[in-house]
Amino acid sequence: MHPILFTVFGVPVHSYGFMLALAFLAAIYTASHRVKVEGGDPDDISNMAVWVVVAAMVGARLFHCFVFWDHYKAHPWQIFNVREGGLVFYGGFIAGSAAGLLYLRRKHLDLAQYSDIVAPTVALGLGFARIGCFLSGCCHGKACPASFPLGVTFPKETIGIAGIPLYPTQLAESFSSFAIFAILYFGVLPRKKFHGQVMALFLVLYGVMRSTLEFFRADPRGFLTLFHFSADAGRTADTATGLWKFLLVTEAVVETTPGQYAFQLSESQVVSLILFALAAVIFIWLPKRKPVDKIPASTPAPAKAAAVSAGKSGGGKKRKGKNRS
């Protein structure tokens, strides 16, 4: 664990901030390269990145403060203290996406096509960012059995739990995010059938991965109780077996009063469910509306309308051009 990587003229460079900066740079570079391949202007990615980075940082912090508002309303000055963690990926993703969509609309660029270009790079950036989480100790896992071969034990300098073996949730999400990037960027993006397909797959793949890892995380998070039910009182993770044991161990089910239990999801699992629904809408609505060979990446809105009209009047013949993906 290295919360401080090195110092520059006596100024410490924190690992989380360093890896977060590396994450943004890697994402911007990769997205710019892909836009150029598809015939667009890489400057559009660089300019949009300014909007997205600022919005993502603000959104990630506000989402955390919203979830833990009972704490921050009593200590409002701590809203600005991010040195001890408190940035939620989904908050940054939602706010950054909103900023990116506003920029694309302002520049008359195709929303679905650029979303496909950006989606894999979000996974790439997240892979680097979670390494920063591991180096600083945040987003840590629950205590794991001593026999678990991949357990990690953090020293006292951590901002999380020290001295006991934990599930390496940060590294698991990092490796999974790199895998999602590889699948989407090298596998799906060059072969997609419609604009929006890559973004929809990202929402599904990341949502499944994140929802699963949430069961093994132990850092402070918000939870939403979905429903209560009755069962035999006194069931514990030590005495239960099978699915019931898993639900108790992962705290998906908690005993509120003797004989009364509640099923709960973390805030990230709830957002994942919402994004699953959005992905379903994309798969249903966009295939016939945004085929890959219909609209070049960098064609302005007026030119798009003229190109579509020309295609209709030309008896449906394919137009030649280099701006294809």
Helix, strand, coil percent values for the chain (each to nearest 5): 55, 10, 30
- Over residues 108-128, mean pLDDT: 96
CA distance 91 to 56: 7
Domain ranges of the chain: 15-220+267-313
pLDDT tens for each residue of 88-110 = 889 999 999 999 999 999 999 99
Specify the pLDDT at position 83: 61
CB 141 within 8 A of CB 62: no
Vertex 277: Cα angle to 299 and 195 (nearest 5)? 20
Give alpha helix (H) positions in 86-237: 89-106, 111-136, 169-182, 197-214
Q: Map residue 13 onto helix, strand or coil.
A: strand
Examine the pLDDT at 74 and tell me if it is beyond 90: no
Supply the mean pLDDT for the chain: 86
pLDDT at 234: 67
Q: Is 9 left (phi over 0), alpha (psi -120 to 50) or beta?
A: left
Please compute the mean of the pLDDT values over residues 137-160 and round it to a whole number.
90
Per-residue pLDDT of 181-215, as tens digits, reads: 999 999 999 999 999 999 999 999 999 999 999 99
Q: Band of the pLDDT at 9, cuts 50, 70, 90?
A: confident
pLDDT tens for residues 213-241?
A: 999 999 888 888 888 888 877 677 777 77
Res. 64 pLDDT band, cuts 50 70 90: confident
- Predicted TM-score (pTM) of the model is 0.83
Question: What pLDDT is attached to residue 50?
Answer: 94
pLDDT single digits (tens) 234-269: 677 777 778 888 888 888 888 888 888 899 999 999
Question: Given this model, what pLDDT does residue 315 score?
Answer: 46
pLDDT for residue 309: 52
pLDDT at 320: 44
